[in-house]
Structure 1
Amino acid sequence: MKADRFQELASAAGPFASVYFEDTHTTEDAAKVAELTWRAISEKLEELGVSEEVRAHVEHAVTEGPTPVGTSGRAVVANADRVWVDERLVRPPLQTEVRWSDGPYLIPLVEHGSRGRPHLVVRVDHVGADLTVHDRNGAVVHEETVEGDDHPVHKASGAQTPGYGDPEPPVEEQRRRNIAKVAERVTELADEYGTDPVFLIGEVRSRNDLADALVSRTADVAVQVETGSRAEGSDPAQTRAALDEGLAQQRLAEMDEAAERFRAGAGTGLAVEGLAEVTAALRERRVESLIIGDLGDATVLVGDDPSVVAQDSDALSAMGSENERVCRADEALPVAAAVTGADRLVRIDERLSPADGIAALLRY
């Protein structure tokens, strides 16, 4: 996930309530379950000593938001000023998690957040396509329709057979031209808005033809979605589930790339692991990608601002920091990466087991 989506949040004043829970809505008693879930969250917030102001922000987000469709998770992060995060999770958490801490807890968002990058949704057939650009928060920022020429794009039948002048070649040529027109506009929008991924929705042949027609830089970020079509009546819930699956698959690809780059960079100075080396790289603003494994209950020291993190007081003093706080590493390190200009936060699974549960790819 792009780290810069958290820069403003990471620089805000704490403390923060960070809440992650399942809000699946697939059964008749879903509303009752949601009520019980909020009651448990509210009790936990009170137990942790969360201020009434912050509890009110969280309650409004949890209880007044739109009713979810199907299997779903939610993330809510708030401080006294506002709700900073209120979004769906691609995968619901295994259990409800509620924290009250100096900084926001971001790891579940990195792993399963449904936002974080602009993306382009293309509903295509052989006549044209409907194009929708979403920003990193999921809001629609641009919509348009691309239509090809009004000539037939279906093979003729009956008397129009090969024996009477085969119409298939001009039909195929028209399909090719329509797809080429869509592909050109898709690339223009992808370049303009920096969309990654580009989701291709439609029947199999249309999707494949469009994928083949895209220039390489756009094809590299294209994800074919097997559910949904351009035709009216396509199930929005199924399409949303398919897009979520596409995001999940892309994150798996990010994990593969991060693990491969880490192994290639080990011993070269371009990849480090362990709390001591990663915190040093963060202080020096050299981290390009923070790779987050199982940090457990590890802690680090945080200095005058969130960018100053260390394992010992001497390192903080060397940075001129006059204060130090003991913070959970799984909260402090992603925040430090965001405010020091890291490019990506990558939640890693068993494909890589870095020392202390943390690693980084470095710029230099």
Structure 2
Amino acid sequence: MHTDLFRELPTDSGPFVSVYVDDSHNTENATHSMELRWRSLREQLESDGAPTAALDHIQTALLDGERPVGVSGRGLVATAERVVLDQQLIRPPTASVARYSTLPFLVPLVTHARDVGSHMIAVVDHRGADIQIVHGDDVAYSETVAGEGHPVHKATGAETPGYGDPQPRAEEQARQNIRDVVDRLTSLVDRERPDVLFVVGESRSVSDLTAQLPQRIEDVVVNLGLGARGSVADSEISGAVDAEWLRRHNRVLAEVTDRFRAEQGRSSGLAVEGLTAVCGALRAGEVQTLLIGDIDDATVVVGEDLMMVAPSPENLSELGAPPNDVVRADEALPMVAVCTHSDLVSLDERLAPKDGIAALLRYAPRTSAGG
């Protein structure tokens, strides 16, 4: 995933509380179940020494905020000052995670978060459209387009002399309404540059719309195929959008896995694996995409500057930097990747690199990435 979501994290001083939990609201006792889950996680974090203020911030966000609809997961990262990340997940984590540590724990977000900058949703028919602009999890803007040719039905008593044939008028009004929607969507997409324009509506309305969209707009359209305007619940649209993000996530994962194997096969130097090689590539700013597998409880050593990361104190000393702290590798390496504007990908069973960590590089290193 792109790391824009994490950009402000390096400017926040830790330590951090990181929580990942199933916050589904699809049963009658969902609220009570969430309260019990959080109580257990809070007790664990308190025993680990997490500050009360940070726990209160997370509790407020989890229990007092707007509740999701249906199956849902939530990821939060907080300091004593504030919640620095609060994200709905594509799917709930299989088990709750709660950590109090020097650095934020980002891997579950990489695995389950919606990897989106922004998108639009247009629910259309031949009368007009309901449009939303969505940034992350938040609806930034919404409007309803009602075409100037709004009525699309034959007038009652159309056989009365003087009315003329209503069918051509109704068809022209419907076409004009679609043109109005096309014009407005084109303007908004050109202005907002969304990653995807999701379209909902009965098949003829969607077909008439996409037939008139400029190619540059049609290229970002995804037809969710859910049914007619006014007959589809918001929860259905949200679920279909999440399913599309998951499909795209899996496609990216497959592409990255294939590319890593290809670069390994041609010995290009653009694919490295293992803590030693990856730490070296991160220090040099060479990592284009960090591939995170099962790192388990491995640790790394960092200097006063987080960018000075190495597998052991000896490695760091050889670089002329005194060791400052020993931290978990699954926390430190993603944060270094964020600082160097690298993408992050969470691996599945298709690829199991040495030490559970690998990287695709921006360019072949001029010297070994070891150390």
Query: TM-score, normalised to structure 1's length?
Result: 0.85
Corresponding residue number in structure 1 for 2:251: 253
Matched residue, 2:275: 275
Amino acid corresponding to residue 55 of structure 1 in structure 2: L
What's the Cα RMSD here? 3.1
Deviates more, 1:267-276 or 1:45-54: 267-276
> Aligned to 1:334, what secondary structure does the other structure show?
helix
Gaps of 5+ in 1: none
Alpha carbons 2:149, 2:174 under 8 Å: kept: no
Residues 320 and 121 of structure 1: CA distance in aligned 2, closer, same or farther (over 3 Å)? farther
5 Å-filtered alignment, 1:1-364, equals 1-114=1-114, 116-136=116-136, 138-148=137-147, 150=149, 171=171, 179=178, 182-183=181-182, 185-211=184-210, 213-227=212-226, 229-231=228-230, 234-266=232-264, 267-313=267-313, 315-317=315-317, 321-342=321-342, 344-364=343-363
Q: CA deviation at 1:105?
A: 0.8
SS of the residue aligned with 1:141? strand
User: Cα distance 1:340–1:126, how it changes in 2: closer, same or farther (>3 A)?
Assistant: same
- 1:214 to 1:358, Cα distance in 2 relative to 1, 3 A: farther
Shift of 1:91: 0.7
> Following TM superposition, by how much is the alpha carbon of 1:92 offset from its aligned partner in structure 2, in angstroms?
0.9
How many equivalent residue pairs? 357
> After superposition, what is the alpha-carbon deviation per residue over 1:205-252, rounded to whole angstroms, capped at 9, x for unaligned?
333454455455544443322336432x63122222222212211211
Tell me how far apart the structure 2 counterparts of residues 361 and 315 of structure 1 sit (CA, whole Å): 22
Question: Matched residues in 2 for 1:204 and 1:320: separation?
Answer: 66
In structure 2, the residue corresponding to 1:295 is in which secondary structure? coil
Distance across 2 between alignment mates of 1:351 and 1:256: 8
Unaligned runs of 5+ in 2: 364-371
Identity of aligned residues (%): 44
Range that drifts further, 347-356 or 216-225: 216-225
- 2:26 match: secondary structure: coil
Give the whole-Å Cα distance in 2 for the aligned partners of 1:283 and 1:319.
11
The structural deviation recorded for 1:17 is: 0.8
Q: Is the 8 A contact 2:313 2:323 kept in 1?
A: no
Classify 1:175/1:307 alpha carbon distance in 2 versus 1 (closer, same or farther; 3 Å): farther
Deviations 1:170-193 (A, max 9, x none): 93x876665565445435433432
Shift of 1:281: 1.8
CA apart distance, 1:51? 1.8
Quote how far apart the aligned CAs of 1:332 are.
1.3
| TM-score for the superposition, normalised by structure 2 | 0.83
The structure with the largest alpha-carbon Rg is: 2
Q: Residues of 1 paired with 2:261 and 2:175: CA distance?
A: 43
Cα deviation for residue 33 of structure 1 reads 1.5
Write out per-residue CA displacement over residues 64-89 of structure 1, whole angstroms, 9 at most, x where no aligned residue.
Answer: 22233221222121111111122322
Instruction: Tell me whether 122-131 or 101-110 shows the greater mean CA deviation.
Output: 122-131
